[in-house]
């Protein structure tokens, strides 16, 4: 069973498409951070580009950073639930390309968004396209040494409509390379953070830690919203599959820029906030 004080914390660097990835990584390293989260937009480097792997690898090597987690493609064509077989194949191919590139860079979890729940559908029909996509993704993930992490929602119109439904699907699919990303902010809005963690506990492989007001997905730093962190944090240690934790505060909206969330505190201040939250015992 994972112990809270032995879990690694992966830092999501503040980046948009205009950012200088190397400069941001140097600033991250200078703040004492050693582990980061990769995503499609690594500043001016798009991780889906064929030459991105060596470019990112060089920056990681020169800064001493480890990329232990990656967020998969998030735009609508890349959501996991694609009912059309051709669209599903294109989505799978794109996610596989990014996933295997991230795994080669050191990532051990790969977060996936599921998509909307189809109106009027029975659960079996709603989840069938997800299962067929995972049939293609999961064996390749296992071969690459990475775990797929299906992220919980903050809307009851989303797939899954609640934490219990997501837990039931992952349990029934029962593949060792398929788990859950518990997003604390999403859980705070929909199920309640502790209730979601309890429902998803056996399947959680990574967590996104950020705060909000209980109504909007604001990606605030812990303590800036209304999530009861003192109540939530002690439950983390009992998640048996949990590999690491991820910061996800101060993240631009999909397709947005950092200008929307300025001013951004110094990276050392953000890091200190998370270290304090984790009782300064999680390796940075």
Give the pLDDT score at 221. 95
Q: Are 277 and 42 in contact (CB under 8 A)?
A: no
pLDDT band at 230 (very low <50, low <70, confident <90, very high): very high
pLDDT in tens, 141-152: 999 999 999 999
Average pLDDT, integer, range 264-275: 92
Write down the domain spans for the chain.
Answer: 4-277
Looking at every residue in the chain, the average pLDDT score rounds to 94
Q: Are 200 and 182 in contact (CB under 8 A)?
A: yes
pLDDT in tens, 151-189: 999 999 999 999 999 999 999 999 999 999 999 999 999
Give the pLDDT score at 3. 42
pLDDT band at 263 (very low <50, low <70, confident <90, very high): confident
Whole-angstrom CA distances from 49 to 52, 54, 90 are 5, 11, 16
Average pLDDT, integer, range 202-223: 97
Burial 33-69 (b: 16+ CB within 10 A, else e): bbbbbbbbbbbebebeeeebbebbeebbeebebebbb
> Over 80: is that where the pLDDT of 281 sits?
no
- The proportion of the chain whose per-residue pLDDT surpasses 90, expressed as a percent, equals 89
pTM, entire model: 0.95
Return the CATH number of 4-277, one of 3.40.50.1820, 3.20.20.150, 3.30.70.100, 3.30.1540.10: 3.20.20.150
Q: Which two tokens stand for residue 77?
A: 């064509």
Q: Which two tokens stand for residue 63?
A: 């800064």
Give the pLDDT score at 106. 98
């Amino acid at each position: 069973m994972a112990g809270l004080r032995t879990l690694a914390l992966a830092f999501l660097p503040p980046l948009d498409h205009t950012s200088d990835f190397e400069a941001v990584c140097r600033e991250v390293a200078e703040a004492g951070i050693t582990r980061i989260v990769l995503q499609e937009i690594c500043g001016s480097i798009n991780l889906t580009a064929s030459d991105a792997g060596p470019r990112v690898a060089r920056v990681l090597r020169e800064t001493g950073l480890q990329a232990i987690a990656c967020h998969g493609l998030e735009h609508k064509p890349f959501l996991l639930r694609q009912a059309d077989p051709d669209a599903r194949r294109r989505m799978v191919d794109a996610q596989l390309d990014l996933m295997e590139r991230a795994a080669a860079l050191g990532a051990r979890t790969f977060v996936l968004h599921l998509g909307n729940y189809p109106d009027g559908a029975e659960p079996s029909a709603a989840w069938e396209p997800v299962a067929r996509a995972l049939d293609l993704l999961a064996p390749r993930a296992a071969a690459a040494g990475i775990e797929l992490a299906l992220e919980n929602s903050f809307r009851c119109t989303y797939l899954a409509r609640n934490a219990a439904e997501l837990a039931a699907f992952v349990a029934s699919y029962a593949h060792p390379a398929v788990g859950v990303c518990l997003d604390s902010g999403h859980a705070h809005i929909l199920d309640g953070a502790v209730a979601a963690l309890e429902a998803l506990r056996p399947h959680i492989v990574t967590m996104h830690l950020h705060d909000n007001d209980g109504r909007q997905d604001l990606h605030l730093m812990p303590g800036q919203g209304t999530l009861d962190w003192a109540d939530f944090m002690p439950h983390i240690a009992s998640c048996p599959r949990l590999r690491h934790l991820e910061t996800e505060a101060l993240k631009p909206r999909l397709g947005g820029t950092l200008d929307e969330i300025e001013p951004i505190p110094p990276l050392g201040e953000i890091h200190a906030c998370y270290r304090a939250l984790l009782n300064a015992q999680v390796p940075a």
